[in-house]
Amino acid sequence: MENKLSQARAILQVFVLSALLVAGGCTTPHAEQTSFKLGDTTVHAKVFQHGKPSPMMINVHDDENTSVVAGKVVVRESGGRLIELVHNGGRLVEFKLDGQTYRFDPNRIFSDEGIRATLSRRSTYSEAAHRVVKDFATKFIEQHALDREPVIVALHNTDGHGLTINSYRAEGNMSSASSVLHVSPKRSPGDFFYVTDRRFFDYFKARDFNVTLQDDANVSDDGSASVYFARKGIPYLNIEADVSHLDEQTEMVRVAREMIAELGLMAR
């Protein structure tokens, strides 16, 4: 009897859920995912979309979840697409191949030089592992047609210890990557934009955000997405914010979206 009752309740719940989904219609954000096999590991690319699929946002570091929450708030508010790489919850992707464990930073895989360096630094290098990582990077870009986007927005978080806007000052360890810099006294150093387009730099500087412009001539090709898209001629920006600054990062994503619309960089 109790079983029947709970069965009936379950059916009713499914019915109500379906009805809600139908009622939600096209206002419900749309989620799907693609998967990539690397040795014994599967990396998922979760796609979160609402309204038009532009702007295109990507999150490649699985432990930078505040940035994903901020991105989804703005996608729900005004549309867009967010692709999030999901694997073990950490920054590095780990996979086993022929009994050997390999690790790499998924934001260092968009050139051969970068793949060699990140495998060597994070674990060990082999040609077989190189092929696996390169194949993943190529398919990730192809399956989501990232090379055909008018602009790419990458979502990242800082943790208060490593990278800040001050890393790009003349005395900082990232100074060679940066050609111009604007540091705002009213913003937290961990909250900043890293951009490859002079128009973006001017826009954020005018609103007194921390911002640095990539020096395309002098930046070393470390396999990061910013270098890859700059070489493809696709405008690109990183939105970096402290992992505890959800409100600040949401505001940064909102401003970036407004800028992209104002500059006519929305995909049709």
Q: Which residues bind Zn ion (CB under 5 A)?
A: 61, 64, 156
SS3 state at 89: coil
AA letter at 97: L
Query: Closest Cα partner for 225 from 130, 140, 154, 120?
Result: 154
Strand partners, 48: 31, 82
* Min separation Cβ 40 and Zn ion, Å: 25
* Min separation Cβ 63 and Zn ion, Å: 8
Task: Indicate the residue among 111 and 224 with the shorter CB distance to Zn ion.
Answer: 224
Residue that has been written with the tokens 């609103």 in this structure: 207
Tokens read off for 53: 């699929």
Task: Indicate the residue among 61 and 182 with the shorter CB distance to Zn ion.
Answer: 61
Burial 20-50 (b: 16+ CB within 10 A, else e): eeeeeeeeeeeeeeeebebbebebebbbbbb
Q: Most distant CA pair in the chain: distance in Å? A: 75
193 phi and psi angles, rounded to 5 deg: -100, 140
* Min separation Cβ 166 and Zn ion, Å: 17
Task: Indicate the residue among 61 and 257 with the shorter CB distance to Zn ion.
Answer: 61
* Min separation Cβ 157 and Zn ion, Å: 6
Task: Indicate the residue among 156 and 187 with the shorter CB distance to Zn ion.
Answer: 156
* Min separation Cβ 245 and Zn ion, Å: 14
Which strand (E) or helix (H) includes residue 20? Answer: helix 2-24
* Min separation Cβ 155 and Zn ion, Å: 8
Task: Indicate the residue among 81 and 156 with the shorter CB distance to Zn ion.
Answer: 156
d(CA 148, CA 175): 30
Task: Indicate the residue among 157 and 178 with the shorter CB distance to Zn ion.
Answer: 157
Edge to edge, the sheet with strand 192-195 lists 30-38, 41-50, 80-86, 56-59, 152-158, 236-242, 192-195, 211-214, 178-182
Of all residues in the shown chain, the one whose CB is closest to Zn ion is: 156
Task: Indicate the residue among 24 and 90 with the shorter CB distance to Zn ion.
Answer: 90
* Min separation Cβ 156 and Zn ion, Å: 3
